[in-house]
Structure 1
Amino acid sequence: MIRTWCLNDAHQSLVLASFGGGLPEVVYWGAALPAGEPLEILAEASVADVTGGMIDRNAPLSLCPEASNTFPGQTGLSARTRDGSVLAPVFRFESEATSGHDLTLTFTDKDLGLTLIFDLTLTPDTSLLKLQTRLESADVIQVDWLAAPVLPVPAHTDEMIEFSGRWCAEFLTRRLAFAPGARLRDNRTGRTDHAHFPGLIACNGRTSNTQGEAFAFHYGWSGGHRSVAEELADGRRQVQFGHASGSLAAGRHFASAPLYATWSGSGLNGAAVRFQRHLRERIVTGARSPRPVHYNCWEAVYFDHKLDDLKAIVTRAADLGAERFVLDDGWFGRRDDDTTSLGDWIVDARKYPDGLSPLIDHVRSLGLEFGIWFEPEMVNEDSDLYRAHPDWVLGPADQIRGRQQLVLDMAREDVRDYLFDHIAAVLWDNAIGYIKWDHNRVLPVVEAAQTEGLYALLDRLREAFPDVEIESCSSGGGRIDFGILERTQRVWLSDSNDALERQRIQHDAALFLPSSVTGSHVGPRHCHTSGRTLDIALRAWTAAQRHMGFEMDPRELGDDEAATLRKVTDWWKNNRDWMMHADILRLDSPDPAVIAEQQLAEDRTRFTVFAAQTRTSDQILPRALRLTGLDLSATYRIALANRDDAPRLSRGAPLLKDGPLEASGQYLMSHGLTLPWRFPETVWVLEGRKL
């Protein structure tokens, strides 16, 4: 007997089949199938042959490949009894339930008292799959590995794009060829991490930003994760995601985090837009609209908090266009450097003898919202909290310290109660609308309970203070994922305010993240993390590509620099209402020195193109830049928003230098735009409207 199910929308179809009551297998995933497609025939057509040197039936590559079926690759479940005996369940169909676009499939092994449940959703308006595995046991067992629903990728997608990176260089991408064996990434840092963003894209050599097929995955979990991209000896391929090895404790109830996935027939952008829209429309809640221009004081004052200086900085930032002021690290305990006071969330009376009210009153008198920095999950040994509760620390006493700090055990209810009470007291006593929530070290041990405890605390704070926005920061981009973004409204993409580095980081992060949640700041003239000195125009236009902010001492700006920053900030404010809901489309630049993207409005009637010249090009003339996502037969008017920035060495007369260009979508996507020559470390900004 064959049972079949289909998750389907206008863009893609996922067809599942259960043979003889066994676990469901994906027998089709790709472009949307026509109505009435006979699913049972597709299931029968998926059965592969056997030949010499093989067992008599191919082991199913199911949503949870089973060892009991002699599966030759990485299985979807690894579990033991309390006495250590290996469990090899044989699951059989129990029930199904549908509700709207949700499908739940339940399978049991009655002899072992195990129930395996798959929760499957395809959201039609964003065309994103959300897939989760749950395991229930009658007895206490130890689960070493539980994969989210396992998906195959076809033979013609013979490459994968994976993500790595480091502090100040997040979202690095690498293309690797599939080959026999398993590509395993096991992130045991206890956080999403700079080096292990939980994403993967299966594609092939013909896949670009704008063309070709892509199967994209993201594991929505803020703790350590494990991923497997495997090519079996028989040629089949599978992708698995789950929690990091060793992070699941013994128990009776287990669940993977949601795995988000989609198929695209229109290149990487097709998948990226679905992730961007789903995050913006379905996951992030409670975000300010319009998004306020952000100012953070960290790179202006660090720990040296002086009320008069801070007031002067706020006044200058407001004059430049800031609408929110965030007081960063250094306001609490006796926090003069990073060796002390984490955990003592009480206002430092030395720096603020009258509390935070004088500063907050000044900020609000200028029309700005006030925000504040916390790092709640951490503790310094030189703190009142640690002296009172050394037993609250996660991990062994002789562990290696990280950034002079230890980690609190967030699985403990008393720890969460303490943190809630102290954070809530600061919020209740002060007019605060925003929290920058930091997390500056990896964990000494990997436990899923640590992340679950964090989620519980954030959920409690969100319920008590629904109007307070929260930013996820972890030494910059160390905790960015859909799990944390269910509870926050913004991410700090990187501690690097170097605009050249930001161009690349933002470009690659756009494969998953929309502008509205991605913080990007105008840093100091002399960058604190790279040592480079960059022009204010590059820094400002780079920040204007995402949720714009400033993070420098604004008093350092000369008159010309201040005028440029005001101009760009005003431009961003005039465009933010549509840009914060726009699709970020990465352009296939024929010049590797140019990073280019096109932000296309929801109604597709307007767009902005940012083309950053990151270094000197190998050729002397700019290469035509082809656009994407336009109506072929429509006419568009395009103008350079910053054409006054053309240097003297641009001596010719390209049309865009002197006025707007009007051309068809066909021309703009087939031939592209001829841009004026420019120096490296500059950005052209083009505005387009459909006529």
Structure 2
Amino acid sequence: MVLAATGDRLPQVVYWGAPLPMGADLDTLHAAHAIDVTGGMLDANPDLSLCPEAVRSFPGQPGLILRDGDGTPLLPKFCYAGEDTSDGLSLTYADDAAGLTLTFLLRPDPSTRIITAKTVLTATRPVHLHWLAAPVLPAPQQSAEMIDVSGRWCGEFQLNRTAWSPGIRTRENRTGRTGHEHFPGLLIPCFGATNTQGEAYGFHYGWSGGHRMVAEELPDGRRQVQWGHVGRSEQSPGTRFESATLYATYSQTGLNGCATSFQRHVRDRIVTWPKPDTPRPVHYNCWEAVYFDHKLPVLTDIATRAAELGAERFVLDDGWFGMRDDDTRSLSDWTVDARKYPDGLGPLIDHVHAQGMTFGIWFEPEMINPDSDIHRAHPDWALGSEDQTLGRQQKALNMALPEVRDFIYDRMAAILSAHDVDYIKWDHNRVLPMPDADQTRGSYALIDRLRADFPGVEIESCASGGGRIDFGILGRTQRVWLSDSNDALERLRIQHDAALFLPLAVTGSHVGPRRCHTSGRTIDISMRAWVAAQRHMGFEMDPRELTDHEAAVLTEVTAWWKRNRDWMHHADIHLLDSPDPAVLAEQQQARDGSRFVVFAGKAATSAQISPRTLRFTSLEPDATYRVELINRDTAPGLSRGTPILKTGPIEVSGAWLMHQGVTLPWHFPETMWVLEGTRL
């Protein structure tokens, strides 16, 4: 990435892409970046700078919109004031007359290929901020479309392809949290790019509150991408504002290049692991087994069965506190329900530990039910108006209030201090009544305080599934609950698309009930188990429903996952270009390229009668690989031929695997083939 500026004006990106020779003449690159001027235009093209300025006649969305303390609009004109290269690149610009200073912070990471970028605005007196973009970056001209991410409850991470055209493509999230509907990510494939080949650009805005994305094509053909907090989410005037961190990357290996950069950066730079040398444990979560009906004999029986299947962590979900018999009451009353646990949580925790499992517990700290002791005592602690529309019979607590954060901390710390708890499932089950940046900062402060005082406790970010997944919350947590859907077919697609941003290590995936509680679909245990084994594996069903066959399959797949989790934790997830739309396939590959596993999930009936060949990716062309279909014994009777993978492993070149590809046996929809590969 090459930045350049004329005189004391703000810098602009004049090149971003494939590596250039170290001796490239940057003055020439700057001069060659300029576009021509013709009729109907200004006499010069205003810079598409890191913060495009309205005062310099920029024809598109400006990077900064603010008003003075008395409401007067401000149109600052920033000039060079200094730089610092001790930690990445820090560039400072000032408008002395307006009393404003703008600083850009950019830092490259050669290992992950991510550039992190942030904008900071300071003022000599309180000002009202409407919009502050993170450093504004150009979008490529060699692109016909952009890919952004939407979704819904039980249908997260849906990819949308939108053609570039004159004007603005805006994604604005005003729900106050990251949201199922507006994951803050953007991918821009260049002409001909696929999962595995071609050029692509990737962006992610690491903020857990409301955000806004602007992708604009100017009348002169230039394109810009802006990210920032959603407009007017700064409720009060201030003297310092900063964007969240923007994560940006460029790829020469298709969308996978962006995906692996984001995966590595999340796992190796953003997430901090309480016990980094401890393998990721297999989860058991009791939610879809008992819901609110907590009975100690039932829970201890379930815990015993879960441990026998291979679970290593037992998570007690919603229903253990207050008078919580359904989702209409007791949120914020974080004391153990003596009706259900007359001797407290100790007996259950002791039993869980006796089975060789650690113990986790569910909280929804930022929320409150009107039918709760705390709401009756402190109705003023709720965020928003008294007559607001409830969500799941609850309101949000005002996390900007220190007394609210202190109260929540005290209640949670009491549980964590009294018991050996190593995990919190941290839920957030409703959107906020309005976007408010202070709400997000307050939640961050609470999590940071708890983590400082209980450093051994791992936290999962859950928000009715995938409603709060972003790199901001992942800087404070170690796992995300990708979706409330445990339907293996839906999960197959959600996991596939979420891998464009998220690594295996943080992505929770559970084996659900035989008949899925959110879709009503009945899916075979093998498919459910292998889909969960694609990510951080767990179970979330009543193990008492399992037949002997189902228990055997689940135990076997869980054991396979445990044998492979150490290298898979650090693996890159490459999405494969499947020629059959019914098949979603991925290749998880060790960082040193020595081994890989390919999951080929058949989500629907294929249009053609025989399976199409499946090409692998990112292998060494001249190396020889041993490839084995490890679950070939599950081939159905209708697979009547003799493809070689049905009889045993093959040894072939990386070139053959990438350019010809393997021919898999015929299989039914709703099944998964799993192939292991080793470089010889």
TM-score normalized by the length of structure 2: 0.99
- The match for 1:117 is 103
Offset of residue 205 of structure 1: 4.3
The within-5 A match list for 1:275-674 is 275-288=262-275, 289-674=278-663
Question: Within the alignment, does 1:160 sit opposite 2:149 as a pair?
Answer: no
Mapped to 2, the partners of 1:243 and 1:630 lie a distance apart of 40
- The match for 1:271 is 258
Offset of residue 158 of structure 1: 2.3
Post-superposition Cα deviations, 1:76-95, rounded to whole Å, max 9, x if no partner, equal 00000122111000000000
Amino acid at match of 2:136: V
Offset of residue 139 of structure 1: 1.2
- The match for 2:167 is 181
Amino acid at match of 1:605: S
Q: Contact 1:491–1:518 at 8 Å: present in 2 too?
A: yes
Q: Contact 2:140–2:190 at 8 Å: present in 1 too?
A: no
Amino acid at match of 1:189: T
Question: Within the alignment, does 1:132 sit opposite 2:118 as a pair?
Answer: yes
Mapped to 1, the partners of 2:84 and 2:555 lie a distance apart of 56
Post-superposition Cα deviations, 1:25-77, rounded to whole Å, max 9, x if no partner, equal 00000011111211121111112221111011101100000000111110000
Mapped to 1, the partners of 2:40 and 2:144 lie a distance apart of 25
Amino acid at match of 2:238: G
- The match for 1:9 is none
Mapped to 1, the partners of 2:381 and 2:11 lie a distance apart of 44
Q: Contact 1:160–1:204 at 8 Å: present in 2 too?
A: no
Q: Contact 2:274–2:455 at 8 Å: present in 1 too?
A: no
SS at match of 2:480: strand
Which of 203, 207, 213 matches 1:217?
203
Offset of residue 372 of structure 1: 0.1
Question: Within the alignment, does 1:151 sit opposite 2:137 as a pair?
Answer: yes
Mapped to 1, the partners of 2:218 and 2:537 lie a distance apart of 46
- The match for 2:50 is 63
Q: Contact 2:505–2:536 at 8 Å: present in 1 too?
A: yes
The within-5 A match list for 1:9-88 is 14-88=1-75
Post-superposition Cα deviations, 1:226-268, rounded to whole Å, max 9, x if no partner, equal 0000000110000000001210131110000000000101100
Post-superposition Cα deviations, 1:281-329, rounded to whole Å, max 9, x if no partner, equal 0011125430000000000000000000000000000000000000000
Post-superposition Cα deviations, 1:481-512, rounded to whole Å, max 9, x if no partner, equal 00000000000000000000000000000000
Q: Contact 1:63–1:150 at 8 Å: present in 2 too?
A: yes
Mapped to 2, the partners of 1:221 and 1:423 lie a distance apart of 24
Amino acid at match of 1:285: T
- The match for 1:98 is 85
Mapped to 1, the partners of 2:73 and 2:512 lie a distance apart of 55
Offset of residue 595 of structure 1: 0.2
Question: Within the alignment, does 1:252 sit opposite 2:239 as a pair?
Answer: yes
Offset of residue 202 of structure 1: 1.2
Mapped to 1, the partners of 2:362 and 2:529 lie a distance apart of 24
Mapped to 2, the partners of 1:157 and 1:106 lie a distance apart of 32
* Structure 1 unmatched runs, 5+: 1-13
Post-superposition Cα deviations, 1:399-439, rounded to whole Å, max 9, x if no partner, equal 10000001100000000000101100000001100000000
Q: Contact 2:324–2:330 at 8 Å: present in 1 too?
A: yes
Post-superposition Cα deviations, 1:192-227, rounded to whole Å, max 9, x if no partner, equal 000100000112341100011111000000001000
SS at match of 2:320: coil
Q: Contact 1:231–1:238 at 8 Å: present in 2 too?
A: yes
Mapped to 2, the partners of 1:667 and 1:512 lie a distance apart of 29
Mapped to 1, the partners of 2:662 and 2:109 lie a distance apart of 36
Post-superposition Cα deviations, 1:557-609, rounded to whole Å, max 9, x if no partner, equal 00000000000000000000101110000000000000000000111110000
SS at match of 2:17: strand
Deviates more, 1:297-306 or 1:14-23: 14-23
SS at match of 2:627: strand
SS at match of 1:99: coil
Q: Contact 1:294–1:550 at 8 Å: present in 2 too?
A: yes
Q: Contact 2:142–2:191 at 8 Å: present in 1 too?
A: no
Mapped to 2, the partners of 1:287 and 1:173 lie a distance apart of 33
Amino acid at match of 1:566: T
Let me know the Cα RMSD of the aligned residues. 0.7
Post-superposition Cα deviations, 1:635-687, rounded to whole Å, max 9, x if no partner, equal 00100111111001101000000000110000000000000000110000000
Mapped to 1, the partners of 2:225 and 2:433 lie a distance apart of 28
Mapped to 2, the partners of 1:648 and 1:382 lie a distance apart of 57
Mapped to 1, the partners of 2:289 and 2:29 lie a distance apart of 62
Post-superposition Cα deviations, 1:367-426, rounded to whole Å, max 9, x if no partner, equal 100000000000001111101110011011111000000110000000000010110000
Mapped to 2, the partners of 1:348 and 1:19 lie a distance apart of 67
Offset of residue 125 of structure 1: 1.1
Moved over 2 A (4+): none
Offset of residue 154 of structure 1: 2.0
Q: Contact 2:369–2:394 at 8 Å: present in 1 too?
A: yes
Mapped to 2, the partners of 1:154 and 1:310 lie a distance apart of 56
* Structure 2 unmatched runs, 5+: none
SS at match of 2:667: coil
Mapped to 2, the partners of 1:663 and 1:184 lie a distance apart of 47
Mapped to 2, the partners of 1:205 and 1:247 lie a distance apart of 37
Question: Within the alignment, does 1:204 sit opposite 2:190 as a pair?
Answer: yes
Amino acid at match of 1:146: L
Amino acid at match of 2:185: G
Amino acid at match of 1:475: S
Offset of residue 170 of structure 1: 0.3
- The match for 2:217 is 231
Question: Within the alignment, does 1:142 sit opposite 2:142 as a pair?
Answer: no
Amino acid at match of 1:253: R
Q: Contact 1:286–1:466 at 8 Å: present in 2 too?
A: no
